[in-house]
Protein backbone atom coordinates (compact mmCIF):
# COMPACT_ATOMS: atom_id res chain seq x y z
CA UNK A 1 0.00 0.00 0.00
CA UNK A 2 1.35 3.37 -0.96
CA UNK A 3 1.45 6.38 1.32
CA UNK A 4 -0.87 8.31 -1.02
CA UNK A 5 -3.49 5.56 -0.79
CA UNK A 6 -3.29 5.65 3.02
CA UNK A 7 -3.59 9.43 3.20
CA UNK A 8 -6.49 9.52 0.73
CA UNK A 9 -8.49 6.83 2.54
CA UNK A 10 -7.60 7.54 6.16
CA UNK A 11 -10.55 9.82 6.91
CA UNK A 12 -13.16 7.41 5.57
CA UNK A 13 -11.48 4.50 7.34
CA UNK A 14 -11.55 6.30 10.70
CA UNK A 15 -15.13 7.55 10.28
CA UNK A 16 -16.27 3.97 9.62
CA UNK A 17 -15.40 2.94 13.17
CA UNK A 18 -17.70 5.54 14.77
CA UNK A 19 -21.02 3.70 15.11
CA UNK A 20 -22.90 1.94 12.36
CA UNK A 21 -24.05 5.32 11.05
CA UNK A 22 -20.40 6.26 10.66
CA UNK A 23 -19.91 3.12 8.58
CA UNK A 24 -22.76 4.15 6.30
CA UNK A 25 -21.32 7.65 5.98
CA UNK A 26 -17.90 6.19 5.18
CA UNK A 27 -19.45 4.03 2.45
CA UNK A 28 -20.79 7.15 0.75
CA UNK A 29 -17.47 8.95 1.27
CA UNK A 30 -15.69 6.13 -0.55
CA UNK A 31 -17.99 6.06 -3.59
CA UNK A 32 -15.87 8.41 -5.66
CA UNK A 33 -12.89 8.09 -5.77
CA UNK A 34 -12.69 4.51 -4.54
CA UNK A 35 -9.89 3.72 -2.12
CA UNK A 36 -8.78 0.17 -1.25
CA UNK A 37 -7.54 1.14 2.24
CA UNK A 38 -10.85 2.79 3.13
CA UNK A 39 -12.85 -0.08 1.63
CA UNK A 40 -10.93 -2.61 3.75
CA UNK A 41 -11.60 -0.75 7.00
CA UNK A 42 -15.20 0.08 6.12
CA UNK A 43 -15.89 -3.65 5.69
CA UNK A 44 -14.17 -4.44 8.98
CA UNK A 45 -16.01 -1.71 10.92
CA UNK A 46 -19.38 -2.50 9.33
CA UNK A 47 -18.94 -6.15 10.30
CA UNK A 48 -18.03 -5.30 13.89
CA UNK A 49 -21.03 -2.98 14.30
CA UNK A 50 -23.47 -5.32 12.58
CA UNK A 51 -22.32 -8.31 14.62
CA UNK A 52 -22.59 -6.36 17.87
CA UNK A 53 -26.10 -5.13 17.14
CA UNK A 54 -27.31 -8.56 16.01
CA UNK A 55 -25.92 -10.26 19.12
CA UNK A 56 -27.20 -7.49 21.41
CA UNK A 57 -30.71 -7.89 20.03
CA UNK A 58 -30.48 -11.66 20.41
CA UNK A 59 -29.15 -11.42 23.98
CA UNK A 60 -31.85 -8.96 24.99
CA UNK A 61 -34.37 -11.78 24.71
CA UNK A 62 -32.37 -14.14 26.94
CA UNK A 63 -32.24 -11.83 29.95
CA UNK A 64 -28.65 -12.79 30.81
CA UNK A 65 -27.04 -9.57 32.01
CA UNK A 66 -23.52 -10.96 32.27
CA UNK A 67 -23.54 -12.17 28.68
CA UNK A 68 -24.25 -8.65 27.48
CA UNK A 69 -21.30 -7.35 29.51
CA UNK A 70 -19.00 -9.92 27.91
CA UNK A 71 -20.39 -9.02 24.48
CA UNK A 72 -19.72 -5.33 25.07
CA UNK A 73 -16.14 -6.00 26.21
CA UNK A 74 -15.53 -8.16 23.13
CA UNK A 75 -16.99 -5.39 20.97
CA UNK A 76 -14.67 -2.82 22.55
CA UNK A 77 -11.61 -5.02 22.00
CA UNK A 78 -12.44 -5.66 18.33
CA UNK A 79 -13.34 -2.01 17.77
CA UNK A 80 -10.11 -0.81 19.40
CA UNK A 81 -8.01 -3.22 17.37
CA UNK A 82 -9.59 -2.14 14.09
CA UNK A 83 -9.50 1.55 14.95
CA UNK A 84 -5.81 1.43 15.84
CA UNK A 85 -5.04 -0.41 12.61
CA UNK A 86 -6.82 2.33 10.66
CA UNK A 87 -4.93 5.06 12.52
CA UNK A 88 -1.58 3.39 11.90
CA UNK A 89 -2.26 2.72 8.22
CA UNK A 90 -2.27 -1.08 8.49
CA UNK A 91 -4.58 -3.43 6.62
CA UNK A 92 -4.65 -6.11 9.32
CA UNK A 93 -7.86 -8.13 9.66
CA UNK A 94 -9.83 -8.43 12.87
CA UNK A 95 -8.88 -11.73 14.58
CA UNK A 96 -11.09 -14.69 13.63
CA UNK A 97 -13.76 -12.63 11.85
CA UNK A 98 -11.96 -10.20 9.57
CA UNK A 99 -11.60 -12.54 6.61
CA UNK A 100 -15.32 -13.33 6.77
CA UNK A 101 -16.20 -9.63 6.84
CA UNK A 102 -14.13 -9.10 3.69
CA UNK A 103 -16.00 -11.94 1.94
CA UNK A 104 -19.51 -11.18 3.18
CA UNK A 105 -19.50 -7.44 2.53
CA UNK A 106 -18.27 -7.42 -1.06
CA UNK A 107 -21.14 -5.05 -1.91
CA UNK A 108 -19.09 -2.34 -0.18
CA UNK A 109 -16.80 -1.19 -2.93
pLDDT tens readout for residues 21-33: 999 999 998 888 8
The structural domain count of the chain equals 1
Residue 13 lies in a domain: yes
Instruction: Evaluate whether 45 touches 104 at the Cβ level (below 8 Å).
Output: no
pTM: 0.87
Give dist(CA 24, CA 31) in Å, integer. Answer: 11
Residue 109 lies in a domain: no
Q: How much is the pLDDT for 73?
A: 92
Name which residue leads in pLDDT, 4 or 98. Answer: 98
Give the residue ranges of DSSP H helices in 1-109: 3-16, 19-29, 36-60, 65-88, 98-104
Domain containing 16 equals 3-104
Residue 92 lies in a domain: yes
Residue 88 lies in a domain: yes
| pLDDT-derived band at 84, boundaries 50, 70, 90 | very high
Half-sphere exposure (Cβ direction) of 107: Cα atoms closer than 13 Å: 4
pLDDT by residue (tens digit) across 44-66?
Answer: 999 999 999 888 888 878 777 67
| pLDDT-derived band at 1, boundaries 50, 70, 90 | low
Amino acid sequence: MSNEEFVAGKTAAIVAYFTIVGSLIAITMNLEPKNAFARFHIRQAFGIHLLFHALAIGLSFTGIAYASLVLFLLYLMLWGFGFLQALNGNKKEIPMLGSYFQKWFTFIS
